[in-house]
A and B are shown apart, each in its own frame.
Chain A
Amino acid sequence: DTGVSQNPRHKITKRGQNVTFRCDPISEHNRLYWYRQTLGQGPEFLTYFQNEAQLEKSRLLSDRFSAERPKGSFSTLEIQRTEQGDSAMYLCASSFALAGLANTGELFFGEGSRLTVL
């Protein structure tokens, strides 16, 4: 397994366009997380899945954002009608945790998808 894979690595788009990012987690991991990170800052939580179920969404995730994990494997994050404030690195991470238990283990992060909205 090559780890968490994200694509595209870089996306430049014009304001108002839609963009979609894909994350392929480590295959045996049941949890998948999306974070957003701006330069020099810590990642901000967006949403996470346990298998195919989306368990929590941050208030940062406006109605222009939608995330899916249809078969409990890969996930997509779509941003509609992009705004300049959406420019950031979008990080995906995965982990394995038993249902009902807190995750004290490591999150494995992908290299991120950097979005620039002009």
Chain B
Amino acid sequence: TQLLEQSPQFLSIQEGENLTVYCNSSSVFSSLQWYRQEPGEGPVLLVTVVTGGEVKKLKRLTFQFGDARKDSSLHITAAQPGDTGLYLCAGVHAGGTSYGKLTFGQGTILTVHP
């Protein structure tokens, strides 16, 4: 079973602070995605990383895929209250009968206080 471990599970910070969320697995995924979810809504894709060592930036968000494609991180610079939400990493299964299936981590609940 391919599992994704996210840490921390909860993060409560002040506006302007930086933070990093980690996503780790003992298995290799063909790609990894990060989603953000607000209460009462479905997850919305932020980014997909495919190549080991890849770094992608989305405004104040920086995403990194580990060289071995087993781990990833999300770094937010100068967090704002609007960043508050549930952040989810999800690995895409590469082959067999599970190809194309997404396995999600347990999520990180981020609260940014003004």
Interface flags for A21-45 (1: CB within 8 Å of B; 0: not) read: 0000000000101010000111111
Which B residues, 30 to 83, have Cβ-Cβ distances below 8 Å to chain A? 30-31, 33, 40-45, 48, 50
For residue A25, give the distance in angstroms from its CB to the closest CB of chain B.
12
Complex Cα spacing A36 to B106, Å:
12
B31, B43, B86 pick with most chain A CB within 10 angstroms: B43
For residue B104, give the distance in angstroms from its CB to the closest CB of chain A.
4
Interface size on B, residues (CB 8 A): 32
Closest residue of chain A to B97 (Cβ to Cβ) is A56
| Residues of A with C-beta under 8 A to B21 | none
Q: Is the CB of B100 within 8 A of A102?
A: yes
| Residues of B with C-beta under 8 A to A74 | none
Assuming A104-B31, A104-B92, is B101 touching A43 (CB within 8 A)?
A: no
A31, A42, A56, A111 pick with most chain B CB within 10 angstroms: A42
Complex Cα spacing A103 to B100, Å:
4
Complex Cα spacing A93 to B92, Å:
14
For residue A53, give the distance in angstroms from its CB to the closest CB of chain B.
12
Interface size on A, residues (CB 8 A): 28
Q: Is the CB of B48 within 8 A of A42?
A: no
Q: Is the CB of B88 within 8 A of A43?
A: yes
B6, B98, B100 pick with most chain A CB within 10 angstroms: B100
| Residues of A with C-beta under 8 A to B41 | 111-112
Q: Is the CB of A91 within 8 A of B42?
A: yes
A residues touching B (Cβ–Cβ < 8 Å)?
4, 31, 33, 35, 40-45, 48, 55-56, 91, 93, 95, 97, 101-107, 109-112
B residues touching A (Cβ–Cβ < 8 Å)?
4, 6, 30-31, 33, 40-45, 48, 50, 86, 88, 90, 92-95, 97-107, 109
The contact sample of 28 A-B pairs, CB cut-off 8 A, is A33-B101, A41-B107, A42-B4, A42-B90, A42-B104, A42-B106, A42-B107, A45-B101, A45-B102, A48-B100, A97-B100, A101-B99, A101-B100, A102-B31, A102-B92, A102-B94, A102-B99, A103-B99, A104-B30, A104-B31, A106-B45, A107-B45, A107-B102, A109-B42, A109-B44, A111-B41, A112-B41, A112-B42
Given A42-B106, A102-B94: 11 more A-B contacts, CB < 8 Å: A33-B101, A42-B90, A42-B104, A43-B104, A48-B101, A56-B101, A102-B31, A104-B48, A104-B50, A106-B48, A111-B42
